[in-house]
Amino acid sequence: MKFAATFFLLMSAASVQAQLYKSTGPDGKVTYSDTPPAAGKVIPQKAVAGEGSNSGDGLPYELALAVKNHPVTLYSSEKCIPCDDGRKLLNERGIPFSEKTVKSNEDIAALHKISKDDQVPVLTIGSNKESTFSPTAWGTALTAAGYPESNRLPKTYRNAAPVAAAPGAASPGKSAAPAANTTSTAGNGDALPAAGNAPPGFRF
C-alpha cells in the first residue's frame, strides 16, 4: 500500500513538470500535448504546472502569446457610439487592450500617424489596422492574430485606464489658456473661431 502511494506521487510530480507541445495540423487545428506529435508544426513550451496553468501576466498561454505578438490598441473619443460598441466587443471577447483617446489637435495628429482616416474608432492589432467599427471585420482580424474566440481572461484581470493618444497631451481636466480677443463684433465681418479644438472635417 505504501509503495502504491509513493508510485502515485512520483507519477503526479512527473506529470506536473511535463513538457508541453503545441502543434498545428495540416487543417490548421491547434493541439496541445505532453508528447511531440508525429507531424505538423511543433512549438515546444516551458514546463507547465498542470492543466489550466496561466503564463505571462496571469493569462492563459495562447492569449499571452497573442498579446505579445499582436498587441491590441483602441483609438476612441467621447460620445462615440461606435467606439462604445467596439470597446464592448473587446471586453466581451476577453481581449486585453490599451485605449487611447482622441480629444486634442495633438491627439488627432497622433492618430494620423496610425491611420489616414479622420474617423474613430480605429483598432490596431499588431501591424494590422481596422478603421471604423465592424464586428465581423474586427472578429476575423482578432482570430487571425491568434486571439481565442471565447473569453479566457482571469476574473481579476483589468485593462489599464485610457490615456491620451498624444504622449504629454494636456489632461482632460486641465483647461487651455484662453485665446486673446476671440469675441466677434457684430457687423465687422470677422468669423467666429471653430467650436472645440478639432480641425474642420474631423469626425467623431
Same domain, 75 and 109: yes
Query: Mean pLDDT over all residues of the chain?
Result: 73
**Rounded to whole angstroms, how far apart are CA atoms 92 and 83?**
14
Q: Are residues 23 and 103 in the same domain?
A: no
Does residue 82 surpass a pLDDT of 90?
Answer: yes
| 193 within some domain | no
The b/e string for 162-201 (b: 16+ C-beta within 10 A; e otherwise) is: eebbbeebeeeeeeeeeeeeeeeeeeeeeeeeeeeebeee
pLDDT of residue 85: 98
DSSP 8-class letter at 180: T
Assess whether pLDDT exceeds 60 at residue 53: no
Estimate to the nearest angstrom the gap between the alpha carbon of 81 and the chain centroid.
Answer: 19
Q: Is residue 163 assigned to a domain?
A: yes
Residue 201 belongs to a domain: no
Whether 84 and 117 share a structural domain: yes
Same domain, 110 and 59: yes
Residues 27 and 90 in one domain: no
- Between 19-28, 60-69, 154-163, the lowest mean confidence (pLDDT) is in 19-28
Structure confidence by residue, pLDDT tens digits, 120-142: 999 999 999 999 999 999 999 99
Domain that holds residue 114: 52-169
For residue 130, give the DSSP letter. Answer: E
Residue 167: the pLDDT is 85
94 neighbors 153 (Cβ within 8 angstroms): yes
Q: Are 43 and 139 part of one and the same domain?
A: no
- Residue 98 to residues 39, 157, 161, 199, Cα–Cα distance (Å): 38, 13, 8, 25
**97-101/72-76 β-pairing:** parallel
Q: Is the pLDDT of residue 184 over 50?
A: no
Q: Which of 22-26, 61-65, 87-91 has the lowest mean pLDDT?
A: 22-26
Average pLDDT value for residue range 93-119: 93
Residues 86 and 162 occupy one common structural domain: yes
Quick one: pLDDT at residue 168? 77
pLDDT above 70: residue 109: yes
pLDDT of residue 77: 96
Query: Any idea which residue has 490615456 for its cell?
Result: 163
CATH number at residue 88: 3.40.30.10
Packed helices 135-144 and 81-93: angle between N→C axes, nearest 10 degrees: 40
Q: What is the pLDDT of residue 180?
A: 42
Determine what percent of the chain is predicted with pLDDT higher than 90. 50
> Is residue 80, in this structure, part of any structural domain at all?
yes
CB 55 within 8 A of CB 64: yes
21 and 90 co-located in one domain:
no
pLDDT tier at 173 (50, 70, 90 boundaries)? very low
Work out the average pLDDT over 61-88.
97
Task: Say if 100 falls within a structural domain.
Answer: yes
Backbone angles phi, psi at 107, to 5 degrees: -65, -40
Is the same domain home to 154 and 64?
yes
Residue 49: pLDDT band (50, 70, 90) is: very low
pLDDT of residue 32: 56
* Grid coordinates belonging to 132: 471604423
Residue 133's closest CA among 78, 69, 202, 75?
75
In a shared domain, residues 80 and 70:
yes
Q: What does the pLDDT average to over 173-181?
A: 43
Same domain, yes or no, for 105 and 18?
Answer: no
13-28 pLDDT, tens digit each: 444 444 455 666 665 5
59 and 41 both lie in a single domain = no
Number of domains in the chain: 2
Q: Could you tell me if residue 158 is inside a domain?
A: yes
Please indicate, yes or no, if residue 94 is contained in any of the structural domains: yes
Q: Is residue 194 part of a domain?
A: no
Angstrom distances, CA of residue 144 to CA of 38, 66, 70, 148, 171 = 25, 10, 10, 10, 35
Q: Are 77 and 102 in contact (CB under 8 A)?
A: yes
